Amino acid sequence: MTMLEVKNLKRTFTTKDNMFGRREVKAVRDVSFTIPDGGVISFIGESGCGKTTIGRIVAGLETPTDGTVLLDGIDIHRANPKERRELMRQIQLIQQDPYQALNPAHTIEEALAQPLRLMAKRKAGVSNAWIQDRMAEVLSLVGLDPAAILYKYPHMLSGGQRQRVVIARALTVEPKVLVADEAVSMIDVSLRLGVLHLLRNLREKLNISVLFITHDVAASRYLGRDGKVFVIYKGMIVEEGATDTVINGPTHPYTQALLSAVPVLKGLEVPGSQRFYVEKELSQDGLSEEGCLFASRCPFATAECRRQLPPLAGDSHKSACLYPYERQVTARMLD
């Protein structure tokens, strides 16, 4: 069953008037995807590719210029305010920086009690004891000891613990969808996998759907191994498919460039035989609206690529390239 369906999402930002007039930045261009009930999908891309904007639109923080976001069949951006509040509860966003997501002047107990008090009001006939029980429950779900953490302030916790508190707070309102935007990239390496592991467990235990936004291909593989991967470039999906299919056999040059850029551990792995580097950087200016958006950076681009924009084509493994071709760029583990 489909939990979340996004159809033809578009978002254009207009810059302020200046001496050059207004400029339009197409942050999201025609993006469609679905997340199954209890399923997981990951968005991969560089910073500035629009993946965060898509996450914010899905979480209701941003209004799309065009397109629809359907949660259980209801359009979250066109629902009436009362419905919308209820829908917003069901989608929770976990942001990148756990240092800024918590109020430094509130203890963890206060941070968790606030949403729970609202929940208690909705559920008629529950007592204060319910709030206490629920707090302990969500904290143990995220692997924290309630007695050792409730009285603390955010500054007394490590990055990993803070992110767990942020996740616990999201869980207090019993969401159906979690949007995790770079949720582990600011956490120390040794603790990162722990948080990824937690998100994976929550999915399995509570049947929560996860939209995982990241630039770390390996992290998306860990959290979303049974899901799908969407590779985003300049607000467009350039490749999509089952996680392992895309990582092991990418057909779009941009996906291949991303996979080539993953460092190879000497002695443990061998680099893919067709690994290549992209020299140029992503830029928003001087964009010609014609042709493939990646053509100016693509080492395999032809004259034809600069003329027409390739559509996202294919059955289960789709690629938006005129010449989709599988290259061996992914590092292989040595035995």
- Binding positions for other proteins, rule: CB under 8 A: 46-47, 158, 160-161, 188-194, 196-197, 215, 217-219, 221-222, 225, 247-248, 257-269, 277-279, 281-283, 330-333
Nearer to other proteins, 118 or 156 (CB): 156
Instruction: Supply the minimum distance, in Å, between the C-beta of residue 335 and other proteins.
Output: 9
**In the complex, what is the shortest distance from the CB of residue 220 to other proteins, in angstroms, rounded to a whole number?**
9
User: Of 191 and 309, which has the nearer Cβ to other proteins?
Assistant: 191
Q: How far is the CB of 59 from other proteins (least distance, A)?
A: 23
Q: In the complex with other proteins, which residue's Cβ is closer, 59 or 196?
A: 196
Residue 168: closest CA among 135, 200, 217 = 135
Range 47-56 burial, b when 16+ CB lie within 10 A, else e: ebbbbbbbbb
Question: Which is closer to other proteins, CB of 209 or CB of 255?
Answer: 255
CB atoms within 10 A of CB 318: 19
User: Which residues are within 8 A (CB) of 249 and not within 5 positions of it... i.e. 6 or more apart?
Assistant: 317, 326
CB of 101 to other proteins, least distance (A): 18
CB of 7 to other proteins, least distance (A): 29
Q: Which is nearer to other proteins, 33 or 222 (CB)?
A: 222
Give the C-alpha separation, 134 to 82, whole Å: 25
Residue 201 CA to residue 20 CA, distance in Å, equals 51
Nearest to 295 by CA among 273, 316, 280, 285: 280
Least separation in angstroms between CB 290 and other proteins: 23
Nearest CB to other proteins, comparing residues 144 and 305: 144
DSSP letter string over 63-112?
--SEEEEEETTEETTTS-HHHHHHHHHHEEEE-S-TTTSS-TTS-HHHHH
